[in-house]
Amino acid sequence: MKIMENIMVAKEAVKRIDSILDEKPLKESEHPQKIRGRRVSFENVTFTYPGNTSPTLNDISFTISEGQTIALVGSSGSGKSTVAALIPRFFDVDKGSVKIDGVDVRDVFKNDLMDKVSFVFQNTRLLKASILENIRIAKPKATIDEVLEAVKKAQCTDIIEKFPEGINTVIGGEGIYLSGGECQRIALARAILKDSPIVILDEATAFADPENESQIQKAFEKLTKGKTVLMIAHRLSTICGADKILVLSDGKVKEQGKHEELLKAEGIYAHMWKEYCRSISWKVTKKLDEINDSSFEKSKRLGKDSEKEVII
């Protein structure tokens, strides 16, 4: 029985490996073009994942001007992450085109395209290697001083200082692991070191606790300064200052505008904002109720005279 169980596990592992090895690389252009600017545009883009019958994105168009920050919001499955994946050409569109500086990404040599785009996704992957090596992946020839500067800008100094070996600490070795928020900050250090003109942030604060989220927000300021930015977030408070917010639903752009404009329109975004604020209010009220219950029990132990002092 144990042997059969191991055989099934091995077969599944081999199946996953084969799925990667059998994946055909995207076709390279015979006449690749260079990208000099950082303006990103989606022109009537339609995309369907292999095996699906309905498109994930359906004839969407928008532009991110140089130095502009665009935020994408919408329910799960609305196509936000798919938009982010099409810019660095993880997939090719079915119809329309994704362009950078007016050049279709399909006409750009893959290494040149990767040099232009930095991305931080919600599921950050770190290698079982030193923190230094994990950061320097983004720029293999970077000096130690350049890496340390990126560490500082990404608010990672506290992570480095808590380990005896500092930046040479091996992640995953001898019981050394980082929290989700700390992994995100290391990923931000990578992106800062790479210093690409286009930055994609896909739920970069998804697994961060309040303390790490505060540090990540500070790192965002360093990373996105002067860059063209596409930001995806479920926590609507993190995108209020975006130059433009696009609301996706059923693979289409249903609304767009600044935070205040969308609230006044009283459409999908306004409803999402109300629900978001209500969820925050519920969490705060629930916490206060717990404190009040605890304080009430304490007042009963101390006596009625102290009740007013301990109940919030």
- For the segment 62-76, the average pLDDT, to the nearest whole number, is 90
Phi, psi dihedral angles at 120 (to 5 degrees):
-130, 115
pTM of the model: 0.77
Phi, psi dihedral angles at 206 (to 5 degrees):
-60, -45
Alpha helices in 42-129 (DSSP H): 80-86, 110-116
- 239 compared with 116, residue with greater pLDDT: 116
CA distances from 149 to 138, 142, 170 (A): 14, 11, 20
pLDDT, position 230: 92
Look at residue 306 and tell me whether its pLDDT is greater than 50: no
* Pairing mode, strands 244-249 and 228-232: unpaired
Residue 20 CB coordination number (10 Å) = 7
311 band by pLDDT with thresholds 50, 70 and 90: very low
- 172 compared with 114, residue with greater pLDDT: 114
- For the segment 137-146, the average pLDDT, to the nearest whole number, is 91
pLDDT, position 219: 80
Q: Are 299 and 310 in contact (CB under 8 A)?
A: yes
Torsion of CA 4, 10, 16, 111, to 10 degrees: 180
Tell me what the pLDDT averaged over the chain comes to.
Answer: 84
pLDDT tens sequence across 175-225: 678 887 888 888 889 999 998 999 998 876 665 666 666 777 778 787 888
Rounded to an integer, what distance in angstroms lies between the CA atom of residue 70 and that of residue 256? 10
Phi, psi dihedral angles at 80 (to 5 degrees):
-60, -55
95: β partners: 46
**Range in 44-58, 86-100, 126-140, 203-217 with the lowest mean pLDDT:** 203-217
Question: Residue 145 class from Cβ within 10 Å (0-12 exposed, 13-18 middle, 19+ buried)?
Answer: exposed
Residue ranges and CATH numbers for the domains of the chain are 9-256 (3.40.50.300), 266-312 (no CATH)
Q: Are 125 and 206 in contact (CB under 8 A)?
A: no
Rounded to an integer, what distance in angstroms lies between the CA atom of residue 32 and that of residue 171? 39
CA proximity to 146, closest of 201, 189, 196, 182: 189
Rounded to an integer, what distance in angstroms lies between the CA atom of residue 242 and that of residue 73? 12
pLDDT, position 281: 67
**Range in 133-147, 246-260, 278-292 with the lowest mean pLDDT:** 278-292
Look at residue 310 and tell me whether its pLDDT is greater than 50: no
Look at residue 28 and tell me whether its pLDDT is greater than 60: yes
- Cα Rg for the chain, rounded, in angstroms? 24
CA distances from 152 to 135, 143, 157, 192 (A): 12, 14, 6, 10
Q: Are 65 and 242 in contact (CB under 8 A)?
A: no
Rounded to an integer, what distance in angstroms lies between the CA atom of residue 50 and that of residue 99? 22
